[in-house]
Homo-oligomer: A and B are copies of this chain.
Amino acid sequence: MGRDRATLADVAERAGLSKTAASMVLNGREGTRLSAEAHQRVFAAAEELGYRPNVAARSLRTRKTATIAFVSDIVATTRFAGGLIRGALDAARERDHVLLITETQGDAAFEQYAIDAILDRQVDGVIYAAMATRRLAVPPAILGGRVVLLNATSAEPLPSVLPDDERAGARIAETLLAHGHRDRIALIGRNRQKERDPEISLAAAARLRGIRGTLADAGVTLSTEGFCPEWQPEHGYTATRALLRRPTRPSAIICMNDRLAFGAYQALGEAGLSIPGDISMISFDDDPIATWLRPKLSTAALPHEQMGRRAVELLVDGDTHEPSYVPMPLRRRRSVGAPAG
């Protein structure tokens, strides 16, 4: 693999020029006074030899590696991670960069290992990503170079990429209002920890703000707010059952994510209620299950691919220190209708 590759010296020799000349031509240096003919000869020689520069040699000299480190807590492991990585991968390729992936698993020793590995390899920049949108502490060691926070913010004034959860909450509320829902809109998934501790989640509070704000503008308040210890299907199920035991049945349920909505579907199914005939459902994330449900679930999509892409763009091209909010497109499917009776 990579044996007997042509070196710059080979190219220069074949072109009948010096390494200096070859290097300058191939790097498209301005202001050099090399003749058009010299350019031709170098390009031809490089082409014929299939020349490709040795990255190690180049970065030894230039301290640039065309490599971006993608460091995350547990991103790579999660179903959502894929989009983040794919977007980053695509954008990196467009810029002729490559991605070095690392996971800290929230473990200090692993994080240290990751940082050392990154520093040893002199990556051009670091994308520091979190699984759940949250505020985190960036290890000081990497602050010497370019850093972009992905799905996270921090105390340091670093560029960051975040989903626009508040806006998404507003869109979801608007959608329900537009279908005629007003005073029987329930919410499932409130969670004190997630709403209060930005180190755990920024999404919860933002989504809630968006929902409440928009409803308030229409003079509406949420009729019921169901708390869940975790945003997992079983809690959505339990919370929905609790909801159905109350005297007035909601006309619509907003779930804080699709997994909760999945649990809610199960509970509604068991209760013999139909969606959206009896109750409308709407949610956040656009997890793959959203399209597997019957009827398919309307939900505000986490734009993972866009976010991963934006992170690389900011890292390579960017200069902002403002948080960059990526819109969460609303996937309109079949789970929202007019209020029953």
Interface residues of A (CB under 8 A from B): 1-3, 5, 52-57, 59-60, 63, 65, 67, 70, 76-79, 81-83, 85-86, 89, 93, 98-103, 110, 113, 116-117, 119-123, 126, 141-146, 232-234, 237, 259, 262-263, 266, 269, 288-289, 292, 294
Contact = CB atoms under 8 A, between A and B. Distances in A.
A27 to B, nearest CB: 15
15 contacts: A1-B126, A2-B144, A52-B120, A54-B120, A55-B120, A67-B121, A81-B82, A82-B82, A85-B101, A93-B110, A93-B113, A98-B100, A98-B117, A232-B292, A263-B292
Given A98-B102, A288-B79, A2 B145 contact: yes
Contacts of A67: 100, 121
Given A60-B60, A101-B101, A233-B292, 11 more contacts: A1-B142, A1-B144, A1-B146, A2-B122, A3-B144, A54-B60, A55-B122, A56-B59, A77-B86, A89-B101, A99-B102
Q: Which of A52, A119, A234, A292 has the most CB of B within 10 A?
A: A292
Contact of A60 (B56, B100, B145): B56
A120 B141 CA distance: 28
Contact of A103 (B81, B86, B110, B122): B86
A76 B65 contact: no
A98 B77 CA distance: 16
Q: Which of A102, A120, A144 has the most CB of B within 10 A?
A: A120
B119 A52 contact: yes
B103 A100 contact: no
The quantity of this chain's copies bound in the complex is: 2
A243 to B, nearest CB: 17
**Secondary structure dominating the interface of A:** helix
A56 B65 contact: yes
A97 B214 CA distance: 50
Contacts of A122: 1-2, 54-56
A237 B56 contact: no
Contact of A79 (B82, B233, B294): B82
Contacts of A232: 292
Contacts of A288: 79
Contact of A56 (B56, B102, B103, B146): B56
B60 A294 contact: no
Contacts of A121: 55-56, 67, 98
B89 A102 contact: yes
Nearest to A262: B292
Contacts of A119: 1-2, 5, 52
A54 to B, nearest CB: 7
Contacts of A86: 76-77, 103
A279 to B, nearest CB: 17
A129 to B, nearest CB: 13
Contacts of A292: 232-234, 259, 262-263, 289
A114 to B, nearest CB: 8
Contacts of A259: 292
A48 to B, nearest CB: 17
Contacts of A144: 1-3
Contacts of A126: 1
A99 B100 contact: yes
